[in-house]
Amino acid sequence: MLLHGRQGLVLGVANKRSIAWAIAQSAAREGARLAFTFQGEAVEKNVRELAGTLRRSMVFPCDVTDDGQVALLFDGLGREFGRLDFLVHCIAFANRKELEGEFSQTSRDGFRVAHDVSAYSLVGLVRGAQPLFPPEGASVLAMTYLGSTRAIPRYNIMGVAKASLEACIRYLASDLGPKNVRVNGISAGPISTLAARGIPGFTDILHHYRQRAPLRRNIDASEVGDAAAFLLSSYARGVTGEILFVDAGYHITGV
């Protein structure tokens, strides 16, 4: 069991099809005790029901754009867990209208919101979590996508925000390395989640990946979950500042 005795926080579970939930299932299977967050009543019931299927899990409210709520989250975790061995960031958001037109038409507020929720939140969460990381070290993991380095039709501001997130991963890895805290990302291929279905033309993207990826298929969320369990475990103790692609090899292709 790769994560036996470890305690972790998973942010971004919305329902049973969430990539965050797939990561949580893999981590729990490998022995981890988990805490989850939710934002608002719309997803609270789902998160609590899913968390209830795992032994000794905890659920906390948290809006990552509110520093006060982030502070309360880690106060609660400190009381309940005492320490935090890993943190998983699966949070991203952009206003739908910013994904529908030309990128040049991105509004100032839309740009700000996407970066605040999708990139800066990782920085704020890691800052809040640091007092709970044990002296022997910890692991941080964030979810990203190929749109951070390539222009993906209709991904627009989310691609730019993911590029910012990946830069945050590298700078946090550099900052926290001396404390034996590793920070990595997983760039997953398209998976039919609630968030992904909000991207215009998402079905076409799935079809394209199946045709072009070296493995000639789309990936399953459980594959991301298992890759995450590896990165969170001591098996990846020499890996930090990296982006691991779990996309059936699509990112290596040209035409």
Active site residues: 145, 155
* H/E segment holding residue 46: helix 41-51
Q: What is the CA radius of gyration of the chain?
A: 17
Name the helix (H) or strand (E) containing 123: helix 121-129
d(CA 232, CA 141): 7
Q: Which two tokens stand for residue 168?
A: 């945050």
Residue located via tokens 């299977």: 29
Question: Between vectors from CA 22 to CA 165 and to CA 240, what angle results, nearest 5°?
Answer: 40
Interatomic CA distance for residues 155 and 148, integer angstroms: 9
